[in-house]
């Protein structure tokens, strides 16, 4: 999956959904820093993409960037609340609580 998405990106296609797919693919493959790179581009293109903020926070946490993860989740929480995305709001709230508890 990653290979075909990278080919699309190389051909000039660049949109939030493509970046989200690459971010998720790299995160699932265990490459959190590469995932974060694509997810950062995704949320830059679509700041209201709460699922991307959620995944970005996860990638940053796995990379050891805890402050950046907190910031991403806080921005994701704001995006979810603005869109009325209750599920993402609940999940991000749980992630933030766990991060605070482990800090």
Quote the CA–CA distance of 54 and 49 in Å, as a whole number: 9
Quote the CA–CA distance of 80 and 59 in Å, as a whole number: 18
Residue with tokens 């869109």: 83
Q: Which helix (H) or strand (E) holds 20?
A: helix 16-28
- pLDDT tens digits, 15-53: 999 999 999 999 999 999 999 999 999 999 999 999 999
What is the value of pTM for the model shown? Answer: 0.94
CATH 1.20.1740.10 fits 2-102, yes or no: no
Tokens of 91: 């999940």
């Amino acid at each position: 999956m990653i290979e075909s998405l990278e080919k699309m990106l190389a051909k000039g296609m660049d949109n939030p959904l493509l970046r989200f797919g690459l971010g998720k693919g790299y995160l699932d493959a265990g490459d959190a820093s590469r995932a974060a790179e694509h997810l950062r581009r995704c949320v830059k293109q679509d700041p209201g993409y709460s699922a991307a903020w959620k995944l970005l926070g996860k990638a940053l946490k796995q990379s050891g960037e805890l402050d950046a993860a907190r910031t991403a989740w806080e921005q994701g929480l704001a995006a979810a609340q603005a869109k009325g995305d209750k599920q993402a709001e609940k999940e991000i709230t749980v992630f933030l609580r766990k991060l605070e508890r482990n800090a």
